[in-house]
Amino acid sequence: MTDSPGRPAGPLAALRGRLSGSGGFASVGVVAVLLGSMLATVFGAGAASRVLNISDGNVWLWSAKKGEVGRVNTASGKVDQRVPLSDAQGHRVEVTQTDQHVLVRDLDTGQITSLDLNQLGHTATAKGPQGQGVRVVLAGDTGYLVNNLSGQVQQINPTTLARIGAPQTFAAPLSGGVADQTGRVWFAVPSQGTVVAVGSSGGDTDQRAAQAANSAPGAQVLATAKVAPPNHELAMTALRSGSAIIDTTDGRVSTVIGSKVASVVATSIRGPVLVPDHTDGVIPVTQPGSRTVFLVNGTSFDKVQVPGAGRALGAAVVFGGRVYVADNTSHAVQIFGLTGQPEQPISIPDANGPIELEVREDHLVINAPSSPHAVVVDGQGNKLDVDKYPPDVPGATDEGEGQAPPTSTPNPTGEQGNNGAPSQGNGGQPGNNGNGGQNTPALTAPGSVSGLQASAGNKSVQLSWRRPSSGGAVNSYVITAEGRSSVVVPASRRSATIDGLTNGVEYRFSVTARNRVGSGPATLANPVTPTGDVPGIPTNVTATPQKDGSVQVRWKDPLDQGPGITGHKITATGPNGTQDFDGGVESTYTVQPNNLNYGDSYTFTVTANGLVTSGQPSQPSAAVAPYTVPDKPTVEVKNTTATSVTFKWGTPKDNGKALQPYKAVINGHEQDIAADQTEFPVTGLQPGAQVKFSLTAVNAAGSSDTAEIDTKADDPEPTIDVTDKISDSYTKATVKFTVDWHGGPAGTCDITIDGKSAGTSCTSGSVKVDKASTNYDFTITAKSTTGRTGKVTDKAKSKVFTVTNSCDYSPDNDCSLGVYKTPPDSDPNLGPRTPTRFPKHASKDAMCYSTGYRSQTGNQVDEYKNLNGGKGRQSNIWVWTELDGYSVGAYMDQSDSELNNLPKC
């Protein structure tokens, strides 16, 4: 990734402060980045090529002045493709690239663009947040968005920019977001002092898996390691396999391999630093404030002082045994040996902004987005100047600017010209730095090419091949036939047509890859015999997607070239390679549904088959994307209440066209639901109400099959909770309670106590009682509006009143009171009483009272002699107690006025 002037670890407070700043980060999540629509654009004539994969040695550079990216061949230093971006002139742009993918992120607008490297023109775009803080990362064939500010990591399809699976969320802010060569993406969580690696659990670039984004697992945590105390400032860079973490709070540099800390080095590094996205071996750490580069190697470190003034340094990189540092004050790149010896700086004319350094394809690429110039440096320190604005290349929109590169086409004369002999550069031998140093890794010769195929034409042969899978970077290919001179083509091409051959003669061609070190092994093609019986090349190839998912391909066959046509081969070229289909003799063919991935971009070529041989493929059609109606949603009930039912579903495959609002029908009423919605509540229901819900997904092709579900709202029994069943009155029994209707409307209640109605309130009920302190059976019944019933039975009590026999007149009087069936009308000593007695000083619950003979006897006269005019206490109150009879109130410890609070018996 080009990320200039580098990635400071920075104070955590400063990074957190940006969360609410004007850069637009506060409310933008990683997942929302990918919800923009897809946009297809075709750039310039000649963009189509039979070379389907970007070859080794290519790097894409941003030019802010032109608002375009250009593809540079690092072996030749030539730009062979220019692709403008819409409304991007003068913007800050980050380019993330591998051999298979190029992602361009405009920091000023937030737009992310994926270049289609098959056709060099078709793009997918998505809207993202502006400014720094979100990083686009390519790990092998998998893409990720790392939002350092929100702490989210989202896997994406790098071709379509569609999100894959759910994001992983970590404690924000994060630091880093860099990929090693094993496909892991590393970042630090400073608040926890940990480093984390994420990756894909499978199917990284499988387009069918990407389209099933709802069920794909997405980014998975593969490793976590503790590297620092919590809240230390951390910067990081990726290693070949693992990562290096710089703790700028205490200066410790740790390397993590797998999930373990492999080494720790104590250094004097403190404060904000810059590090490259990746390094191998020596770890360069740039401290712009002191203009110092720390070089951490194994268990030791060295320091290199960068001459000059100012803090405008970029992140230093180590390449080819040298240290390169962008000095944006002097608009130059300072160069040092690993031991600090300076070398001649590289100046970039017209560099009015940051200078970017990218180590890629065994080369260091130096780019100033504001300048028309760039520089490519190889491992021996040899430099090639790059004119980023050459005319006469695909995608160029200007004239007279720069100098066009020399054309490289097969040369039937066999003259090699300037491409003939490998160069050693600076007079040095392969493997040294041109100055006698022996620490630079040697550039090796390429391996053998693969997939070499030869096909016959009329007095010609067409060859195609794939790049070597091993060895050093290629700068050219040599084509040789027995008895003929060699033909040389540049590394950017992997196909050639050899003309001037003799029909009927068999030829065997070989292809050899080479670079400045030497040549790889020759690969021999299949025997091929040119013939005049070759059908002509079809023209005017068009492809038209149909709503049913098919693609109709049409073309014109030449009427005056070659013998009769016996059939056609239709070749679809997409992100995952090519697919061939057998067509008949007609000049139209329909690729049936489900043969291509919906939403992917395809071009189509047509090859005519003859009686003897096949002709040459046509020029490709314009890129199209097959599409059809969305998949049927899968709907289920998320939850229910007495008044609502909530339905949920996973986002169905859109099958190549963006989802439009869903069409829902709820109990016969139509309802549009937003395309990004995955659940819908149906509210305002009656308990137990039937709900019929159907959902149809819609896109530009039409409607999916309809998902239907039939359910009911809850209809629960009311729940009764008794909160109080003891009355505060001697003459009443009362219960208090609450009813839970479970979200439904309130129903009705009925209460009975002691077999009597206690009302219809749904909060309390009470009845008069004829005796106090007795348990009374009660029943509460609550009935919902749908007839569902809840019931509670228990016992209620009135207020308790306890009386005590206070008789203690004389030692020979036991004072046990007689208990009478009825209150006597005269002196109780004259009448009968029951065998039961109220013992001296005993306490009993009083239930009710009656009146009878006014007693005045014994101790009541003596103890209460001041009452009743000196006559002592008298009482005509007789109290019924648990002894099942009456006892005279004069002997109770309560007054008559208290006793007559009891119910009247």
Prediction pTM value: 0.43
Residue type, 572: A
Separation of alpha carbons 556 and 562, rounded Å:
14
Confidence of residue 10 (pLDDT cuts 50, 70, 90): very low
Separation of alpha carbons 460 and 457, rounded Å:
5
> By the 8 A CB rule, do 105 and 128 touch?
yes
- Segment 740-756 mean pLDDT: 92
Long-range contacts of the stretch 372-375 (C-beta < 8 A, 24+): 372/63, 372/65, 372/401, 372/402, 373/348, 373/349, 374/61, 374/72, 374/348, 375/333, 375/346, 375/348
Q: What is the pLDDT of residues 661-675, one digit of tens each?
A: 999 999 999 999 999
Looking at residue 864, what is its pLDDT? 62
Looking at residue 810, what is its pLDDT? 54
CA 174 to chain centre: 15
Looking at residue 504, what is its pLDDT? 86
CA 273 to chain centre: 29
Query: Closest Cα partner for 472 from 429, 416, 513, 422?
Result: 513
Residue 427 has pLDDT above 50, yes or no: no
Confidence of residue 200 (pLDDT cuts 50, 70, 90): confident
Separation of alpha carbons 224 and 171, rounded Å:
13
Q: What is the pLDDT of residues 145-156, one digit of tens each?
A: 998 878 889 999
Mean pLDDT over each residue of the chain, to the nearest integer: 81
Confidence of residue 804 (pLDDT cuts 50, 70, 90): confident
Helix then strand count (H, E) for the chain reads: 5, 64
Looking at residue 340, what is its pLDDT? 82
> By the 8 A CB rule, do 479 and 463 touch?
yes
Q: What is the pLDDT of residues 437-478, one digit of tens each?
A: 344 446 788 999 988 988 888 888 888 898 887 888 888 899
614, HSE (Cβ side, Cα atoms, 13 Å): 15
CA separation, residue 631 to residues 38, 392, 478, 618 (Å): 19, 46, 50, 35
DSSP string, 445-498: PB---EEEEEEEETTEEEEEEE--SSBSPPSEEEEEETTS--EEEETT--EEEE
Q: Which two tokens stand for residue 770?
A: 């004829």
Residue 869 has pLDDT above 70, yes or no: no
Separation of alpha carbons 713 and 15, rounded Å:
49
Separation of alpha carbons 278 and 3, rounded Å:
12
Residue 786 backbone class (left: φ over 0; alpha: ψ -120 to 50; beta: rest)? alpha
Bridge partner list, 366? 357, 375
Looking at residue 160, what is its pLDDT? 87
Residue 432 has pLDDT above 90, yes or no: no
- Segment 345-374 mean pLDDT: 87
Q: What is the DSSP letter of 407?
A: P
Q: Which two tokens stand for residue 496?
A: 């050639």
Q: In angstroms, what is the C-alpha Rg of the chain?
A: 46
* Minimum mean pLDDT range among 565-574, 607-616, 843-852: 607-616
Q: Which of 29-43, 191-205, 852-866, 891-905 is the most confident on average?
A: 891-905
Separation of alpha carbons 388 and 393, rounded Å:
11
DSSP string, 116-131: -TTTTS-EEEEE---S
Bridge partner list, 208? none
Looking at residue 285, what is its pLDDT? 95
Separation of alpha carbons 428 and 602, rounded Å:
47
Query: Closest Cα partner for 183 from 136, 118, 238?
Result: 238
Looking at residue 295, what is its pLDDT? 93
Looking at residue 865, what is its pLDDT? 64
Looking at residue 790, what is its pLDDT? 94
Looking at residue 561, what is its pLDDT? 56
* Minimum mean pLDDT range among 174-183, 212-221, 307-316: 212-221
Confidence of residue 296 (pLDDT cuts 50, 70, 90): very high
> By the 8 A CB rule, do 662 and 697 touch?
yes
Q: What is the pLDDT of residues 256-283, one digit of tens each?
A: 998 898 889 999 999 889 999 999 889 9
Q: Which of 117-126, 362-371, 510-519, 664-673 is the most confident on average?
A: 664-673
Angle, CA of 627, 631 and 632, to the nearest 5°: 150
Residue 594 has pLDDT above 80, yes or no: yes
Bridge partner list, 869? none
Neighbours of 228 (CB within 10 A): 23
Looking at residue 849, what is its pLDDT? 93
Angle, CA of 316, 320 and 323, to the nearest 5°: 25
Q: What is the pLDDT of residues 758-802, one digit of tens each?
A: 999 999 999 999 888 878 999 999 999 989 999 999 999 998 888
Query: Closest Cα partner for 236 from 188, 189, 280?
Result: 188
Looking at residue 491, what is its pLDDT? 83
Confidence of residue 398 (pLDDT cuts 50, 70, 90): low
Separation of alpha carbons 333 and 338, rounded Å:
15
Confidence of residue 37 (pLDDT cuts 50, 70, 90): very low
Residue 539 has pLDDT above 60, yes or no: yes
Confidence of residue 644 (pLDDT cuts 50, 70, 90): very high
CA separation, residue 718 to residues 237, 642, 742, 788, 792 (Å): 63, 11, 7, 7, 11
**538 contact partners, CB below 8 Å, separation of at least 6:** 555, 556, 557, 558, 568, 587, 606, 607, 608, 618
Q: What is the pLDDT of residues 730-742, one digit of tens each?
A: 999 999 999 999 8
* Minimum mean pLDDT range among 84-88, 569-573, 593-597: 84-88
φ and ψ at residue 211, rounded to 5 degrees:
-70, -25
Looking at residue 360, what is its pLDDT? 80
Separation of alpha carbons 890 and 180, rounded Å:
101
Residue type, 582: D
Tell me if the bond preceding 288 is cis, omega within 30° of 0: no
Residue type, 826: S
Looking at residue 739, what is its pLDDT? 96
Tell me if the bond preceding 5 is cis, omega within 30° of 0: yes
Q: What is the pLDDT of residues 38-93, one digit of tens each?
A: 222 222 222 222 222 234 578 989 998 888 898 998 888 888 888 888 778 888 88
> By the 8 A CB rule, do 687 and 784 touch?
yes
Residue 365 has pLDDT above 80, yes or no: yes
Residue 320 backbone class (left: φ over 0; alpha: ψ -120 to 50; beta: rest)? left
Neighbours of 591 (CB within 10 A): 23
Residue 844 has pLDDT above 70, yes or no: yes
Confidence of residue 813 (pLDDT cuts 50, 70, 90): low
Confidence of residue 680 (pLDDT cuts 50, 70, 90): very high
**800 contact partners, CB below 8 Å, separation of at least 6:** 772, 773, 845
Residue 121 has pLDDT above 80, yes or no: no
Confidence of residue 362 (pLDDT cuts 50, 70, 90): confident
